[in-house]
Structure 1
Amino acid sequence: MSTPFIPQHTYVVCTFQMSPTPQKLIANRSETSAFHNNEPLLTIQDKNLKEPFSCKSPITEAASWISFGAGIFVAALIFSTPIGWVFAGLALMVIVGGISLKKVITHQCTNPMDMGKWMLTHSTVKFDGYEAITLSSMLRCNTGSVLKPFLSESLATEAAKKIKINNRIELGVNTAVSFIAGLLFPSGWAGLSAKYGSGKAVYCLVKSNASGLAVIWTTTYLQREYMRTDESLEENTVYQSLNNEVDKSDWYGGTPKKPSDLSDLSDLQNFAEAVESGKATVGDLVLKQKLKKLAGLSRQVLKNNELANSLLDDLNAGKINHLKDAMTQFNSRRMNPTMVQEGKAVTSEAFRKGMGKTGAKLSLGALFFIAPSLATWFSEETRRDFAEVAVQDINKAMATLAEKGNSVVTKNPL
C-alpha cells in the first residue's frame, strides 16, 4: 500500500515522550527542491524537530539517581549514628543528582535523532539525492525511542497522551525502586562488610548483580516476546513493522544506567539471612509435625513412644534449646503431655515469625527483579498504543488522499 510523502511541519510522536503534545518535523538538509503546499518534502537526511521532546531517558536516569541518593540520606538520618553517613548520602544525592539534572536540562533531540536512522523509507523515490520518507516511515532514535509522523493533529495528540501516561508510570516505578535501594544500601553494605570484609563484599556485590542482570535480561526478553504475540494486533502493520524491522527485541539489556536497572544493589545480606532463616523455619516446621503426632497421647504411651524418646534425646543433647527453654514443665527423664502442648505452641509461633521474616527479606530482594518487568509492561503498552493510533492516522490519510488527491511540486525531475 502506497502512503503519502511527508512535508515539513508534519506532526510527530515519540515513544519516549513525557509530554501530552506532539511536536513537528523540520527539514535540515542544505537544499530542498520538492514541495507540498509550499513546504519541503522530507527525506532520510531530515532528523530534527521544531521543538525538542521532554525525553523519558534522561529524566528517568536523573530521577532514579536522585531518589537513590535521597534514600541513602534518609537511611543515614534514621539508622546511622556516624555523622559521616549523613554527609556521604547528601554528597551523593547532590553530585549524582546534579550531573543527572544537567542531562535533563541540556537534553536536545537533535543529536540523538541525528545519530538515529529512518526506516521503512521510499527507496525508489529521492528528493535532492536522498530517499524520501512517508507516513509509514519510523525513526529509530539513538536514545532507544521510535518516532513516527502523524498527519492528523487530533490522532497525534491522542497517541501522545497515552504514551505520556505509560511513561510517567514507568518513571514512578523506577524512582520508587531506586529510593528503596538507597534506603537499604547502608545497612546492606555494612552487613556484607562485617561478614566478609570490604574486599569480598565488593566481589559479592559485583557477582550478585552480574548473575542477577542475566536473569533480568532473559526474563524481560521473554516477557517482551510474549507480549508482542498479541493476536489482536496481527493485522496492525505499524505494530508488526515496529517489532520486526524497526525496534526488534534484544536479549542484552544494555549497560545499567540507574539503580533500578540492577538486580540487587540495596541489601545483599537479605538473601544470606533469608536462607539461614529458611533453614530454621524448615526445622520448626518439622518439629511442629512431629509434636502434632504426639498430641493427645497419655504419659504412659509417650513413655514408650519411639518418636517421643527421640525428641527427648534431642532436647537433652541441647539440639533444640529454644524449645527446651520455653517448656515450663520440662522433664529430662520422660516426655509428658504438657511438654508436647507447649512444644506445639512454640514451634507454631517460631514458624510464623520465621516465615514472616524470610518472606519480608526475600520480597525486598525480589523487588529488584519485579521492577524491570513492570517497566517492560508499561513500555510495551506504549508501543501498543502508539501503533493502534498510528494505523488510524494512516487509514485516515489514505481515505483523504483517495478523495482529494495529493500534489507534489518539484524543481527537478524525480
Structure 2
Amino acid sequence: MQTHLSQALLNTADGREAESILRACVHCGFCNATCPTYQLLGDELDGPRGRIYQIKQMLEGEPAGPQTRLHLDRCLQCRACETTCPSGVHYARLAEIGRAAIELQQPRGWRAALFRWGLRRVLPYTGRFAALLWLGRMAEPFIPRRIRPTLPQVRPAGAWPRMRHDRTMLLLDGCVQPAATPLTNAATARVFERLGIRLERPSGQGCCGAVSYHLNAREEGLTHARRNIDAWWPAIEAGAEALVITASGCGLQVKEYGELLREDPAYAEKAARISALARDVAEVLTVEDLSSLPRGDGRRVAFHAPCTLQHGQRQNGTVEGILRRLGYELTPVADAHLCCGSAGTYSILQPELSRQLRDGKLRALTAGEPEVIATANVGCQLHLQQGCNSHVRHWIELLDPAPPG
C-alpha cells in the first residue's frame, strides 16, 4: 500500500512504524473473513481492511470525525486478522497508533473521558476492584435481576502449598484475577508443587499495564510495566527459570514489554529479557511430565481459546494438547477463532456487540454438550459466565491435585 505520511510524522517512532505496517498491507481483504465485527455488521469500515484505510487517511492529514473513532472503537483488537493475513501485517499495533492519533483530532466528551479514566483507576488495582466487588455483593438484593449475573461468583482459592523445591519460577498475580477468580493462581501453585516447581510472587508487582495501554493511556501502561520489571528483576537475576502467567491477556502484554519499551534506555534490555522469559502456564506444562496430575477419565470439556492465546501468543492447540494427554475429551467448537466479546474493557464499552459475540460463542461451546466449559483468561471466563448457568472455569482448575471443597 502506498503512503504519503508527512516528514514530521516520519520523524517519530510511531510514524515510522505506521508507514512500515501500512506498506506491508496489500488490501486483499482476507482479514475481513475472520473479523468478528465485520461478520456481525457487514460494514467494510468495521473490518480490518476498512480500518486500515481510515487510519492511513488520518495519518496522511485528512480530517477524521466521530464516525472514524466509532469504527476504531468497535475493533476488539482480537488479532484474528493477523493470524489470517498472508502479508504479516501487524494490525494491532497500527490500531493503537490510529487510536492515539484520533484522540488528538477528536477528543472525547467529558463523560466518556471520565468513564474511561474511572476504569483505569479501578481495574488495574486489586484492592480497589475487590472493594467494588464487595460493595456490589452487599447491594445485590437491591440490584435488578437482569444485572445480578454480571457480579462474578467468587470461588474459594483453597490453601497455597508450601513449596521448597530447587526449581523456581515467578508467577504474575494480576489485578482483577486475585479478586474475581482467586482459585486460578492457587490451583496453579498446587499443580506446580506437584511437579516439583516453586512459584514465587514478588512483592511490588501488579497490573501488567494492558488496561491503561489499550485505553490510550500508553505512558500509564508503560509505568505499570516498569514497576513489574523492577519487582521481578532480583528474582530473575537470582536464576528464576520463567515468568508464569495464567491470564493469556496479561501474558500477551508482558511478552510485548520488549517491543513497547525498546526506546527506553533504562528498561529496554530488561524488558526484552522479561519478554523472553514470559510463559503462558500451558507453555510450561506442555514440556513437563504430567503423570502425577489427576486424570480426566473421558470427561467432556469445551475449551474456549482466548484471542490473546491463539492469535496474540500463537499458542493455538497447546491447552487442548495438555487436556488430551490427561484423558479429557475435547468437544468440537465451531468458529473457534472468533472472539467471545470480552476483549479487556470491550464488554463494558461496547456492551451490545459484546453480548452478541458472547451469545454466539456460548452456542458454539455448548453445542457438543460438554460437562464443563474452560478457558484461559480471566476476562473471557467472567464474560462467558455471565451468559450461562454452569460454571466456566480456567482450565488449570481441572488439573488441581487438591481442589478446595
TM-score (norm 2): 0.21
* Bigger RCO of structures 1 and 2 (CA < 8 A, at least 6 apart): 1
More helix by share: 1
Larger Rg: 1
TM-score, length basis structure 1: 0.21
